[in-house]
DNA sequence: GTCTATAATCAGATAGAC
DNA sequence: GTCTATCTGATTATAGAC
């Protein structure tokens, strides 16, 4: 009995998971492309190829929909950061994180963060998955920043928190889109340029 | 006749101008606070203290409303830049521009630029007042950037256009809001921190 | 769980009296 | 030009059959 039942429900759950993955993927692309306000639930449904009402069986609101995509993004960031060698120089790891963020962004996979007052912001603030990921990432990066400052590799005149925010801000840096729009630079060049402005600044050295 | 008529129409026009200034001021604050999509025409009307229908006698659409505020901002920037001493070192003038932008932003007077696909973007692109200001500002800044690069004060490894975009991007830099939100820094400290990250970078020197 | 059809709401824009 | 009242369309969300 259970030998036949268990695979059956497992299969169903797998299909459900696949469907939800497809939804989140579509949401992620739309968030990256036009942001939360401009994205409509109709678009999401159309892109996934299901009816809008079906979406609401999986997620109870537009905010939940977006939150799911953003939480997935945070988890990925957490995984990437967790996979970095803790014995490596902290500055190197920090550069790797920014490089990774820029690559995700250049690939059009970076969901827009709610920089201003938005219903999404409120939803995220009470989402413990989101907040946990955010805290975990912040802690890890902050330790590396402090270590790099102690070693004299990062500026000791800048507050640690300001450097942390600067790294986070790269997720929504409009310079990337600007440079991409012109079409005069490859993705690798854009990555190098933005990395250089963050770490070395625009002044000559 | 004309001696009594002229002041009369002039007075009316002045009142009209004052009213439109009040509208644009309200729009500017709302754009700075919540951005174009989140701002509603009802809010603007309420804040100015007139009926929504009256707004539409002055501006024919929400986009026009926002464009007027943004164009005023561009004009102000143009005036500020035009008032800088052309004999001063170019790097000094560029720093003054960024400092001014940050001060406007910290005062809550920086209307959010349409970084992503938006109906406002399209409106601005065909608004010759906006485009003219943008071109004038870009030209001026670009010349200073090139001059500073030639003098070896700004990095010669970075494309001029990338530096220009970086300066523009400070208008929508979320780090400013983040640092402001925490309440641990004064406006002057925030200005200094952000200026330092832009020009000197986060690396130690 | 998925669909079609529809409710409910909200925001941009307008009509028409004054 | 300003107002009140209204229209129109878009968008989030749900009802109910299958």
Once rounded to an integer, what is the mean pLDDT over residues B109-138?
A: 91
Asked if the Cβ of residue A38 lies within 7 A of any atom of strand C, the reply is: no
Measured between beta carbons, which residues in chain A are less than 8 angstroms from residue B169? 173-175, 178
Q: Which stretch of B31-45, B77-91, B115-129 has the lowest confidence by average pLDDT?
A: B115-129
pLDDT tens for residues B172-202? 999 999 999 999 999 999 999 999 999 999 9
**3-state DSSP helix/strand/coil % of chain B, to nearest 5:** 75, 0, 25
Place of tokens 């071109």: B135
Quote the pLDDT of residue B89: 98
Which parts of chain A fold into alpha helices (H)? 2-38, 41-48, 52-58, 62-82, 90-106, 119-125, 128-150, 160-169, 174-182, 187-199
Rounded distance in angstroms from the CA atom of residue A61 to the C1' atom of nucleotide C2: 18
Quote the pLDDT of residue A150: 98
Quote the pLDDT of residue B85: 98
In whole angstroms, give the CA distance from residue B43 to residue A130: 32
Quote the pLDDT of residue B113: 73
In whole angstroms, give the CA distance from residue A31 to residue A14: 25
Structure letter (DSSP) for residue B112: P
Q: What is the pLDDT along chain A (205 residues), one digit of tens a residue?
A: 445 455 657 888 888 889 999 999 999 999 999 999 999 999 999 999 999 999 999 999 999 999 999 999 999 999 999 999 999 999 999 999 999 999 999 999 999 876 676 899 999 999 999 999 999 999 999 999 999 999 999 999 999 999 999 999 999 999 999 999 999 999 999 999 999 999 999 999 8
Q: What is the mean pLDDT of chain B?
A: 94
Structure letter (DSSP) for residue B170: G
Q: Does A33 touch chain B (CB under 8 A)?
A: yes
Looking at the DSSP bridge assignments, the partners of residue A88 are none
Chains A & B: contacts with CB separation below 8 Å: 140
**What pTM was computed for the model?**
0.94
Of A159, A162, A179, the CB nearest to B165: A179
Give the CA distances from residue A187 to residues A29, A102, A103, A179, A193, in Å, rounded to whole numbers and listed in that order.
18, 9, 8, 9, 10
Quote the pLDDT of residue A1: 46
For A73, phi and psi rounded to 5 degrees? Answer: -60, -40
Q: Does B188 touch chain A (CB under 8 A)?
A: no
Q: Does A203 touch chain B (CB under 8 A)?
A: yes
pLDDT tens for residues A56-72? 999 999 999 999 999 99
pLDDT tens for residues A20-38? 999 999 999 999 999 999 9
Asked if the Cβ of residue A14 lies within 7 A of any atom of strand C, the reply is: no
Q: Does B197 touch chain A (CB under 8 A)?
A: yes
Quote the pLDDT of residue A13: 84
Degrees, nearest 5: CA angle B147-B153-B154: 80
Residues A128/B167, Cβ–Cβ less than 8 Å: no
pLDDT tens for residues B4-59? 455 657 888 888 899 999 999 999 999 999 999 999 999 999 999 999 999 999 99
Quote the pLDDT of residue A16: 87
Which nucleotide in the DNA or RNA is closest to residue B119, CA to C1'? C12
Which nucleotide in the DNA or RNA is closest to residue A20, CA to C1'? C1
Tokens (6 digits) for B81: 């830049």
In whole angstroms, give the CA distance from residue A144 to residue A164: 10
CB atoms within 10 A of CB B200: 18
């Amino acid at each position: 009995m259970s030998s036949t039942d268990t695979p059956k429900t497992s299969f169903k759950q797998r299909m459900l998971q696949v469907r939800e993955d497809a939804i989140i993927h579509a949401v992620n692309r739309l968030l990256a492309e036009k942001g939360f306000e401009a994205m409509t639930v109709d678009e999401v449904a159309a892109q996934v190829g299901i009816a809008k009402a079906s979406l609401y069986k999986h997620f109870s609101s537009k905010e939940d929909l977006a939150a799911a995509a953003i939480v997935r993004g945070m988890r990925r960031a957490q995984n990437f950061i967790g996979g970095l060698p803790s014995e490596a120089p902290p500055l190197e790891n920090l550069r790797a994180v920014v490089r990774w963020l820029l690559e995700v962004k250049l690939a059009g996979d970076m969901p827009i963060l709610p920089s201003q007052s938005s219903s999404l912001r409120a939803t995220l603030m009470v989402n413990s998955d989101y907040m946990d990921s955010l805290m975990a990432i912040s802690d890890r990066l902050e330790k590396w920043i402090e270590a790099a400052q102690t070693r004299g590799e990062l500026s000791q005149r800048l507050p640690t928190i300001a450097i942390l925010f600067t790294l986070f801000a790269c997720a929504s840096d409009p310079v990337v889109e600007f440079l991409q729009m012109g079409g005069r630079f490859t993705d690798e060049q854009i990555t190098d340029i933005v990395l250089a402005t963050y770490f070395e600044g625009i002044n000559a050295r």
